[in-house]
Amino acid sequence: MRFDTPATSNPIDQLKVIGKPTDRIDGPLKTTGTAPYAYERHDVAPNPAYGFVIGAGVAKGRITRIEVSAARAAPGVVAVVTTLESAPLPNGPMNTATLFGGAEIQHYHQAVALVVAETFEQARAAAALVRVDYARQPGRFDLAAEARNAKPVPGDSGEGSGAPPEDRFGDFEGAFAAAPVKLDETYTTPDESHAAMEPHATIAAWEGDRLTVWTSNQMIAWGKRDLAKALSMKPENIRLDSPYVGGGFGGKLFLRSDVVLAALGARAARRPVKVALTRPLIANNTTHRPATIQRVRLGAGRDGRITAIAHESTSGNLKDGKPETAVQQTKLLYAGANRLTALRLAEMDLPEGNAMRAPGEAPGLMALEVAIDEMAERLGLDPVEFRIINDTQVDPEHPERHFSQRQLVECLRRGVERFGWTNRDPRPGQRRAGRWLLGMGVAAGFRNNLLTKSGARVRLDSGGVVTVETDMTDIGTGSYTIIAQTAAEMMGVPIGKVVVKLGDSDFPASAGSGGQWGANNSTAGVFAACVKLREAVAQRLGFNSAEAEFANGQVRSGNRAVPLGEAAGPGGLVAEDAIEYGDLAKRYQQSTFAGHFVEVAVDVFTGETRIQRMLAVCAAGRILNPKSARSQVIGAMTMGVGAALSEALEVDKRHGFFVNHDLAGYEVPVHADIPHQEVLFLDEVDPLSSPMKAKGVGELGLCGVGAAVANAIYNATGIRVRDYPITLDKLIERLPTLA
């Protein structure tokens, strides 16, 4: 189905199933521990062996020797595979670091060997007997030190966030110099880990020259393509199966070493092999969000209107890696006649930097939205009002491109009312409750809407059951449920009559899970397949498909009504299609918006910060399932609190690795840290987005949260911290005296 004109009225608009707060249909499996995650697929590959991955002990250099004789002689060992046995495996387009093969070491904990044994414990013990000798080379591990050598580069997250090396509109320098009120500040964000609950894990099994991997992967079609390239195989000889993913946040978008090594280990062992990366390897061997150094300059008139806006970001990555696209939202979020954005990349020898939830906007808004608050204070304006004054309904750099929908102002105004913003004292450090300093903060949220082709296959059987097959994944987001809701709405059946099968590369390729594009595009693909199935049903019955009504498990035309199962017949009916997009996204800017409000309490003696309450007001197109959408947003808000207050991969700048590479040292928020969260969705549909008139919300809930927390801390204490995370050591020496 081609979508190149705005959506008009269609069966989804009935809202009998779509738009209802529906329980997750996969919930019972997950709460009873019976959902089949990758490492726990005991039913798919009999008698598996266990692989243990050995990571490099240096961050840069070459391997001169790997001694494995003791390991091979250890109890239970079936096979040992080393990186010296093959040339570097070819990378797919998404990977930067070499996953396996060759003597060169690009980063710490790069996979150098796999030990396969009868049990995990035997594999781990034998791995400790492998001896690897290196010729160590000096490396570059300090972004601040390397920033002076950073080069202008273009950036593209592949998720709708990108910018050229430098982009100018108008005369920024002249307007900035002439502005009566100016701001010029630098902000830093640290390296961050995805910290998903489920580790990267794979079971691999060969049958002749055919390979099946049961793995944890967000993007099945990409994974199949890249695994075929890495192993020099025909894609049709590979099957990926990933029906449940226990968190990814971008860390499982691309092929990782667990998949490759499970396949190589299974080939060497001549039997199925299980591989799960240990927590240190997840932090250092996979990917992370790169640290940034961001300079923001703002110039404004006394009336509060921005006349000059510049945002420059420097990040680091391996050679041929990409920068963090932290400036992209600044090109679109606020009006301003004179503009400058720039990206620079320092070549470094740390583990690979790549996509993490809301790449670009998440760290970019942590800088921009604090700068906006600082500028509002210099102007003597309420920070909400300053944002509203500088709203725009067009792309500031391409004024002919209007936003398809833009309700940022409404998000902010609704938030002001709901949160009790007028009770905020604009003077920092004025509100107290005993030993606690209280403050409120606000930030705008922004995330682009990305359209991508997505397919599905729909079956109707003689019992009136509708089965949907698509390689879309569910990473805890509720994909099973919204896809079932879509098929139920389109075919006029209750949701209990829909079976959803996901995550198998034998199914039609979908959008996959990433960039908050999954919900809108995957359901639009199901919509397209259901349109074809409705036509097939109508044709079999001799109905006019344009006039046929599908409701209550029947199809009706005029005075005639036929049960769907009867229409399907003994052999059933099958339809397959995909949603493909025209140029609407080029003609109109498609984005999502939020207003984030946070109240904090800061201990005046220790500097400890506690979240009191949070509110997100979101404008993100039609909300397909308010219950699962809320779950996505509150999870993202929690992630934003972590980025603001605790999360940072600490770099050993001597040896080039992340020191706190487990969930004990890498601190993420827990339930007790987040006492109250509220989410409001504006009543919005976007007919320019898809037939579903939806967009996405999973990353919008994160974008801006960190800045809202930082702004609340400033309002509570009068201390402006521009280096994240805002840990108590950055506050304690500057806290006001408690009278």
User: Among all residues, which ones are annotated catalytic?
Assistant: 699
d(CA 181, CA 484): 54
d(CA 641, CA 654): 30
Give start and end residues of each alpha helix (H) in 241-360: 257-269, 279-285
Please report, as a single letter, which amino acid is at residue 377: E
> 424 is written with which tokens?
């905020």
DSSP reduced 3-state for 394: strand
Closest among 386, 361, 359 to 372, alpha carbons compared? 386
C-alpha 19: how far from chain center: 23
Give the DSSP H or E segment for 465: none
Beta bridge partners of 306: 300
Are 704 and 444 in contact by the 8 Å Cβ rule? The answer is: yes
- Integer angstrom CA distances of residue 597 from 357, 414, 633: 20, 11, 13
Give the DSSP H or E segment for 221: helix 220-230
CA atoms within 13 A on the CB side of 332: 27
C-alpha 622: how far from chain center: 20
Are 594 and 680 in contact by the 8 Å Cβ rule? The answer is: no
β pairing state of 657-658 and 651-652: antiparallel
Give start and end residues of each alpha helix (H) in 46-146: 69-72, 120-127, 143-146
Are 689 and 620 in contact by the 8 Å Cβ rule? The answer is: no
Q: Percent helix, strand, coil in the chain (nearest 5)?
A: 30, 30, 45
Are 1 and 577 in contact by the 8 Å Cβ rule? The answer is: yes
d(CA 105, CA 98): 9
d(CA 596, CA 426): 17
Are 169 and 396 in contact by the 8 Å Cβ rule? The answer is: yes
d(CA 698, CA 631): 9
Are 269 and 78 in contact by the 8 Å Cβ rule? The answer is: yes
DSSP 355: -
d(CA 514, CA 508): 17
Please report, as a single letter, which amino acid is at residue 150: A
d(CA 729, CA 732): 5
CA atoms within 13 A on the CB side of 231: 29
β pairing state of 210-215 and 238-241: parallel
DSSP 342: E
DSSP reduced 3-state for 490: helix
HEC secondary structure over 155-178:
EECCCCCEECCEEEECCHHHHHHH
Closest among 115, 134, 141 to 126, alpha carbons compared? 115
DSSP letter for each residue of 102-118: SSEE-STT-EEEEEEES
Q: Residues 6 or more apart from 546 whose CB is under 8 A from it?
A: none
